[in-house]
Structure 1
Amino acid sequence: MYPLKFENIYFEKIWGGRDLENFRDNLPEGNIGESWDVACHPHGTSVVSNGKFKGIKLDELIKLKGDELLGTQIPKDWFPLLVKLINAKDKLSVQVHPNDKYAKEVEGEMGKTEVWYVVDAFEGANLVVGTKDCTKEEFKKAIESGNFDNLMNKVYVNKGDVYFVKSGLIHAIGEGVIIAEIQQNSDTTYRVYDYNRGRELHIDKALDVVDLNLRGEKSRGLKLEGDGYSKTYYCLCENFALELYDINKSLKECSDIERFYIFTVVDGEGEIIYKDGSEKIKKGDSLMIPAALGSYEIKGNIKLLKSYVPNVYKAQKEIINNVMC
């Protein structure tokens, strides 16, 4: 096995733009809103773009390599993560996602909890994360009137900001951002308000799943300094963990036979070196570290997000041990 790259799966959106061209040269025509970079979903499945398995779809490779690819503790019947880059030139709809229980019963797939990392922030870049203090009745009246602005918790953001978006949290990506989004493998979104753009709304389902007690706050993270790199732990839940590696020389580590990793480059460039070769990586690239890869080294002046499905107890223990060292 080796670090896997994938073809980008692009989606045109009415709120999309062309900002991904700042670091990619393969955009199709149109206002591109989403790039699914590691995906194994009925609405889009990644195809390997490098090495021995080039041209093979991710679901086929999972059947072929099983534990070697995903790890011994990751179920093989449903790939757990979806990694995207989102370019918003205009604001997205005000929306909410269901939890696993509701989504399985109503939609036949997983719920959606996600985390956002701001890759680039342009003038006026903003997000909506939760509401200001409001009751369910006030929220219903806002839906009926379309007067949402005074209820939304709108925050202006900078490059490198991180926000955890739990299922049930009202949210919206505002204009002027490129977001790296790591989420549960689900494509279920309930739109509450869409600025009169004529798309379908899902009011009843949204009211079923919204939790107005949830608050969206910027993740502060826990940063640890190493020799030639720093590592920041941003979120840890049963669905995924997110860490940021800021490397100015190199970092060495080993894969985990129990689980795969996904790296998403959010700035700079470098290379990943493993037993049988190396792979150059740059801003906008995502690659998958198979569970059976073994030792590898990342060199360069580069920032990468590392996402994976954790053993929460083991991950907590690792964080505590690192803090106490």
Structure 2
Amino acid sequence: MYPLKFENLYYEKIWGGRDLESFRSNLPEGNIGESWDIACHKNGTSIVANGEFKGIRLDELMNQKGSELIGTKISKDWFPLLIKLINAKDNLSVQVHPNDEYAKKVEGEMGKTEVWYVVESFEGGNLIVGTKEGCTKEQFKAAIEKGELDEHMNRIPVKKGDVYLVKSGLIHAIGEGVIIAEIQQNSDTTYRVYDYNRGRELHVKKALDVTDLSLQGTKREGIKIEREGYSKSYLCLGKDFSLELYDIKEICNENSDTERFYAFTCVEGHGEILYRDGTEIIKKGDSIFIPATLGKYTLKGNMKLLKSYVPDVEKVEKEILREIRY
């Protein structure tokens, strides 16, 4: 096995733009809102872009290679993650995602918890994370009916490098003027409650079913560990995914895990991944899949990488405690 790159799956959106051209040369025409970079969903499945398996769909490769590719603890019946880049030139709809129980019952797929990393924030770049303090379900419902929801939204300015966890049930929206790296559960279920009078379908009843106004979106500061040649920050950890930020100044030696795959998304700079049989270049905007059986590999260059995976939570907690306990 070797580090896998995939073709970018682009989706035009009414709120999209052309900002991905600042580090991508393959954008199709139109206002591109989303690039699905590691995906295995009915609405978009990645195709390998490099090496021996070039041209093979990710679901087909999972069937061929099984745990050798995704790990012994990851089910090949449902690929767990969806990794995207999002370019918002205008406000996305105010929306909410269901949890697993509701989504399986009503939509026939997984729920959606996601995490955002701000790759770029332009003038006025902002996000909506939750509602303002004191907003009740009655006020929330009335505001939806009157089209006055914005006054209850917790809209915040953001800068490059900010990280926010969006749990299922949290009202949220990506605002105008940002590029976001989004790591999420493998789901494409979104319930819109307000869409700035664009005429698209709203899903108010379902949204009210799943909204939890007690949830608050707070910026993730993480736990930073300094090492020679790089630093590593643990940003969030839960049953659905773990997210870590590697700031590579020189090199970092790593090992794959036979129980699970890893994904690296480059959010700044460039470098390379060296492994037993070769080298893969990685630059800003790239996502690379690390198979469970890759073995030893080295991250080399001057770059920032998001590492996402489905963790053994207890194992990672012990790893963090070893670093901070005295």
TM-score bin, normalised by smaller chain? over 0.9
CA–CA separation in structure 2 for the residues paired with 1:91 and 1:260 = 34
Equivalent in the alignment of 2:148: 147
Are residue 17 (structure 1) and residue 4 (structure 2) matched?
A: no
| Deviation at residue 83 of structure 1 after TM alignment | 0.1
CA–CA separation in structure 2 for the residues paired with 1:324 and 1:210 = 38
Q: How does 1:86-235 map to 2 (within 5 A)?
A: 86-132=86-132, 133-235=134-236
Equivalent in the alignment of 1:77: 77
| Deviation at residue 150 of structure 1 after TM alignment | 1.6
Equivalent in the alignment of 1:258: 259
After superposition, give the CA deviation of every residue in 1:17-49 in whole Å (9 maximum; x if it has no partner): 000000000000000000000000000000000
CA–CA separation in structure 2 for the residues paired with 1:149 and 1:313 = 40
CA–CA separation in structure 1 for the residues paired with 2:11 and 2:116 = 18
Equivalent in the alignment of 1:279: 280
The runs of 5 or more residues in structure 1 that have no matched partner are none
CA–CA separation in structure 1 for the residues paired with 2:313 and 2:282 = 29
**What SS does structure 2 have at the residue aligned with 1:143?**
helix
Equivalent in the alignment of 2:271: 270
Letter in structure 2 aligned against 1:182: I
After superposition, give the CA deviation of every residue in 1:149-179 in whole Å (9 maximum; x if it has no partner): 2200001000000000000000000000000
After superposition, give the CA deviation of every residue in 1:204-230 in whole Å (9 maximum; x if it has no partner): 000000000000110011111001000
CA–CA separation in structure 2 for the residues paired with 1:26 and 1:257 = 34
Equivalent in the alignment of 2:27: 27
Equivalent in the alignment of 1:3: 3
CA–CA separation in structure 1 for the residues paired with 2:9 and 2:320 = 34
Equivalent in the alignment of 1:324: 325
CA–CA separation in structure 1 for the residues paired with 2:168 and 2:10 = 25
CA–CA separation in structure 2 for the residues paired with 1:77 and 1:173 = 31
CA–CA separation in structure 2 for the residues paired with 1:237 and 1:162 = 15
Q: CA RMSD in A?
A: 0.6
CA–CA separation in structure 1 for the residues paired with 2:310 and 2:323 = 20
Q: How does 1:46-85 map to 2 (within 5 A)?
A: 46-85=46-85
| Deviation at residue 324 of structure 1 after TM alignment | 3.3
Question: What is the TM-score with the length of structure 1 in the denominator?
Answer: 0.99
**What SS does structure 1 have at the residue aligned with 2:129?**
strand
**What SS does structure 2 have at the residue aligned with 1:304?**
strand
CA–CA separation in structure 1 for the residues paired with 2:150 and 2:48 = 43
**What SS does structure 2 have at the residue aligned with 1:314?**
helix
**What SS does structure 1 have at the residue aligned with 2:98?**
coil
Moved over 6 A (4+): none
**What SS does structure 2 have at the residue aligned with 1:231?**
strand
Matched residues, number: 325
Letter in structure 1 aligned against 2:156: V
| Deviation at residue 266 of structure 1 after TM alignment | 0.1
Are residue 237 (structure 1) and residue 238 (structure 2) matched?
A: yes
Are residue 314 (structure 1) and residue 320 (structure 2) matched?
A: no
After superposition, give the CA deviation of every residue in 1:237-271 in whole Å (9 maximum; x if it has no partner): 00000000000100001000000000000000000
Identical residues among aligned pairs (%): 73
CA–CA separation in structure 1 for the residues paired with 2:315 and 2:10 = 36
CA–CA separation in structure 1 for the residues paired with 2:53 and 2:320 = 35
Letter in structure 1 aligned against 2:188: D
**What SS does structure 2 have at the residue aligned with 1:158?**
coil
Equivalent in the alignment of 2:298: 297
Letter in structure 2 aligned against 1:161: D
CA–CA separation in structure 1 for the residues paired with 2:49 and 2:217 = 36
CA–CA separation in structure 2 for the residues paired with 1:187 and 1:287 = 21
**What SS does structure 2 have at the residue aligned with 1:149?**
helix
Question: What is the TM-score with the length of structure 2 in the denominator?
Answer: 0.99
CA–CA separation in structure 2 for the residues paired with 1:121 and 1:150 = 23
CA–CA separation in structure 1 for the residues paired with 2:244 and 2:143 = 37
After superposition, give the CA deviation of every residue in 1:266-303 in whole Å (9 maximum; x if it has no partner): 00000000000000110000010000000000100000
